[in-house]
Amino acid sequence: MNLNFFLTPFSPIINLFIVTFFLLAKKASCTDPYFLACNPKSCGDGQNISFPFHIQGVQPDYCGYPGFTISCNDKGKPVFNLSNSEYIIHEIHYQNQSLRVSNAAVSGKSPSCTPQIQNISLDDGRFHRSSNSKGLFLLYNCNSTLLSNKSELSNYKVDCPGENETVWTLAMLEDDPLLGSTLDKCGTRVLAPVDVYRGENVGTERMLLLEEGFVLNWTASNCSTCHDSGGKCGFDAATYHFKCFCPDGPHSKQCYSDKCQLCVVLGSLCPRNHGQNISLLSTV
């Protein structure tokens, strides 16, 4: 046999080898579209948003856990909805599953003037208050005549300039000894969480606490195993199960680095997502 035939630069066998090599290399890349879609994103303030959160319209729903949808406000801040009110997200700590938020309605307001806000409900189990938080009662439409005999209550006033002086708005922490005798003299009450690290005794200082926000802990599937294996965490709404999106396709818990190499050795295609039902692609 003439060996020179196999070694010539334009030999069909050499060309076939080169083409086969590049095809196998392409298979080995295994860039699953779900893995690419769930890269962390930002609203512009530098905070990376990733599982269990996802930014509506920027990241697909399957990149986040149900009920953890975030949007970006006109100032480039991440916000999300709690009890039909917008809350600004100031910090997210993924390792201990906590975040610091504040009601968007009080952002940038004068500390001596508070807008009407709503009670916050955390009954669905997604979030719960940290152990450092206390309840701050905002008492609206308080009868100033009935309260005038307690001069110390003037320190709790958070009225806006120019408001009717016959009614007061007060801010009182839930463990304040004067709270019980004051509640029945006010028309509306709202309980807002605040984080208390020192003894704030003046109304305006308590309103600064309201703007600084409070810490919430969340409950959702833990991402650490998937993340540590090089994956992107996500969720399959069809099966209501956590998914680990990996370069070679979705898995149930974590990625396996030798998956693609095994595919190449066996001469088979790496698993890819060519449809919408990601639960059918979970091979491990």
User: In this structure, are 273 and 180 located in the same domain?
Assistant: no
Q: Which domain holds residue 57?
A: 31-68+220-284
User: In this structure, are 109 and 205 located in the same domain?
Assistant: yes
Asked, for residue 15, whether it belongs to a domain, the answer is: no
Q: Output the pLDDT for position 166.
A: 78
Q: Output the pLDDT for position 267.
A: 39
Q: Output the pLDDT for position 106.
A: 83
- In 3D space, the residue among 147, 194, 193 whose CA is nearest the CA of residue 170 turns out to be 147
User: In this structure, are 113 and 157 located in the same domain?
Assistant: yes
Asked, for residue 63, whether it belongs to a domain, the answer is: yes
B/e letters for 151-163, b = 16+ CB within 10 Å, e = fewer, are: eebeebbbbeeee
User: In this structure, are 114 and 156 located in the same domain?
Assistant: yes
Asked, for residue 252, whether it belongs to a domain, the answer is: yes
User: In this structure, are 135 and 197 located in the same domain?
Assistant: yes
Are 144 and 198 in contact, with CB atoms under 8 Å apart?
A: no
Q: Mean pLDDT across the stretch 60-80? A: 94
Q: Output the pLDDT for position 252.
A: 92
Alpha helices in the chain (DSSP H): 4-7, 12-29, 33-37, 144-147, 179-183, 203-212, 224-228, 259-266
At 262, the pLDDT band (50, 70, 90 cuts) reads: very low
User: In this structure, are 57 and 149 located in the same domain?
Assistant: no
Q: Output the pLDDT for position 157.
A: 84
Name the least confident of 148-152, 224-228, 251-255: 148-152
User: In this structure, are 245 and 178 located in the same domain?
Assistant: no
Q: Mean pLDDT across the stretch 213-235? A: 93
Q: Mean pLDDT across the stretch 41-49? A: 90
Which pTM was predicted? 0.74
List, edge to edge, every strand of the sheet that includes 241-246: 232-236, 241-246, 249-251
- In terms of pLDDT, which residue wins out, 9 or 229? 229
Q: Mean pLDDT across the stretch 270-278? A: 37
Which of 212, 242, 271 is the C-terminal boundary of a domain?
A: 212
How many of the other CB atoms lie within 10 Å of CB of 27? 17
User: In this structure, are 112 and 171 located in the same domain?
Assistant: yes
Which of 212, 244, 266 is the C-terminal boundary of a domain?
A: 212
Q: Mean pLDDT across the stretch 119-144? A: 86
Phi, psi (rounded to 5 degrees) for 173: -70, 155
At 143, the pLDDT band (50, 70, 90 cuts) reads: confident
The most confident of 97-111, 174-188, 190-204, by mean pLDDT: 174-188
Asked, for residue 188, whether it belongs to a domain, the answer is: yes
Spacing of C-alpha 257 from chain mean position: 28
Question: Looking at the 3D structure of the chain, how many domains does it have?
Answer: 2
Secondary structure class of 251 (helix, strand, coil)? strand
- In terms of pLDDT, which residue wins out, 160 or 3? 160
Asked, for residue 14, whether it belongs to a domain, the answer is: no
The most confident of 6-10, 87-91, 131-135, 191-195, by mean pLDDT: 87-91
Q: Percent helix, strand and coil across the chain, each rounded to 5?
A: 25, 30, 45
Q: Output the pLDDT for position 160.
A: 66
At 145, the pLDDT band (50, 70, 90 cuts) reads: confident
Which of 212, 231, 262 is the C-terminal boundary of a domain?
A: 212
Q: Output the pLDDT for position 215.
A: 93
Asked, for residue 151, whether it belongs to a domain, the answer is: yes
- In terms of pLDDT, which residue wins out, 261 or 91? 91
- In terms of pLDDT, which residue wins out, 165 or 137? 137
Asked, for residue 195, whether it belongs to a domain, the answer is: yes
User: In this structure, are 129 and 175 located in the same domain?
Assistant: yes
User: In this structure, are 110 and 190 located in the same domain?
Assistant: yes
Asked, for residue 1, whether it belongs to a domain, the answer is: no
User: In this structure, are 261 and 239 located in the same domain?
Assistant: yes
User: In this structure, are 137 and 189 located in the same domain?
Assistant: yes
